[in-house]
Chains A and B, each alone.
Chain A
Amino acid sequence: MAHAATTHHTSLGLDNRKVAFWAFIGSECLLFTALISTYLVYKGRSVVGPYPHEILNIPFTSVSTFDLLMSSLMMVLALAAVQRGDMKWGKIWLFSTALLGLVFLGGQVIEFTEFVHKGLTLSTNLFGCTFFVLTGTHGAHVAVGVLWLLTLWVRALQGKLGPANAMTVEITGLYWHFVDVVWIVIFTVVYLIQ
């Protein structure tokens, strides 16, 4: 309850942490758009292979996309459980979200390893450079999200997370869903529109 007492509100009547986090998400939009724009500007300008259509594995990435979408669903279910004080399911959904995030990261490691074995590295061509920087930056965001979720899960196990801290879970959720919407765009722009 001490946590709730220290919560500060802006003159708009909004939680200042949430305002700050939405502003951060706005800045992240600019970062990812810069990376996606760079990918698009250099698309089709590689003078040596491997080229996207030779190397991208759509069925595999579709499964990863499904995995990340389901992790977003788990995240909102975790938030709903914490808000109603159902910490048993809160813990289950939080761990499930982190687990699905880890599965996504595992998929990305497999994909990157396969590409390197097929001769595509960061310095092979323009496609390799822009692809690895874009998807790697996204992967780093997923990794941060997984660590954040696991931290919350451990706090929940210690009994330090409850309805009074629902805003913490909501802000974690905002980050996780943002990572998901970025992947929605990357999956379409990089993988499906070749």
Chain B
Amino acid sequence: MSAQEGGSAMHEEGSLEHPVHPTADVYLRVGAVLVILTVLEVGVFYVPAFHPVLVPVLLVLSAAKFTLVVMFYMHLKADSKFFTFLFGVPLLLAVGVMVALLFLFLGALTLRGAAGPG
């Protein structure tokens, strides 16, 4: 089978090459959720009652927005798992490096502070 014939054969709905993408209606709903999450983020920032839990709440809201865009707008939910692998592995590596750097630099700073001057 030639590449062109192979491509035509995969034009069926939900094939690897042409997965079923969400409809405009789904895109609009996701857009509405993204706007609501952004309003919540900014709202939480200005409400003093949330300040003790500000960082975890903001990180959760940000992660939710990130996931929605990647899953629906970048189509990782419907696309081949290979794309998830290509994106997910560097992302995990990057997050691991970030956490390691923060421990390395900020952890050392905290230990020096606990040890006192000198």
Q: Which of B61, B70, B97 meets A37, CB within 8 Å?
A: B97
A8 to B3, Cβ gap below 8 A? yes
Answer yes or no: A178 CB below 8 A from chain B CBs: yes
Q: Report the separation of the CA atoms of residues A8 and B4 in the bound assembly, to the nearest whole angstrom.
A: 9
Chain B at the A interface: SS class: helix
What's the count of A-B pairs with C-beta under 8 Å?
Answer: 141
Q: Which of B84-98 contact A (CB under 8 A)?
A: 86-87, 89-91, 93-95, 97-98
Known contacts A26-B91, A73-B27; is-contact A184 B73 (Cβ 8 Å): no
In the complex, what distance in Å separates the CA atom of A185 from the CA atom of B94? 13
Query: Which of A9, A29, A36, A80 is close to B23, meaning CB atoms less than 8 Å apart?
Result: A80
Nearest chain A CB to B48 CB, angstrom units:
14
Given known contacts A181-B66, A185-B66, is B89 in contact with A9 (CB within 8 Å)? no
A158 adjacent to chain B (CB < 8 Å): no
User: Chain B residues near A79 (CB, 8 Å)?
Assistant: 21
Tell me if B7 and A22 are in contact (CB < 8 A).
Answer: no
The answer, yes or no, to whether B12 is at the interface (CB within 8 Å) is: no
Cα-based distance from A24 to B57 in the complex (angstroms): 31
Cross-chain contact of A178 among B23, B54, B72, B74 (Cβ < 8 A): B74
A sample of 12 inter-chain contacts (CB < 8 A) reads A12-B82, A14-B82, A18-B83, A32-B94, A33-B97, A36-B98, A40-B101, A62-B38, A62-B42, A66-B35, A69-B31, A184-B69
Write the residues of chain B forming the contact surface with A, with a CB cutoff of 8 angstroms: 3-4, 6-7, 10, 15-17, 21-24, 27-28, 30-31, 34-35, 38, 41-42, 45, 54-55, 58-59, 61-62, 65-66, 69-70, 72-75, 80, 82-83, 86-87, 89-91, 93-95, 97-98, 101-102, 105-106
Query: Closest 5 CB pairs between A and B?
Result: A26-B90, A33-B94, A188-B62, A73-B31, A22-B86
Question: Which residues of A approach B to under 8 Å, CB–CB?
Answer: 4-5, 7-9, 12-15, 18-19, 22-23, 25-27, 29-30, 32-34, 36-37, 40-41, 58-59, 62, 65-66, 69-70, 72-73, 75-77, 79-80, 83, 170, 173-174, 177-178, 180-181, 184-185, 187-189, 192-193
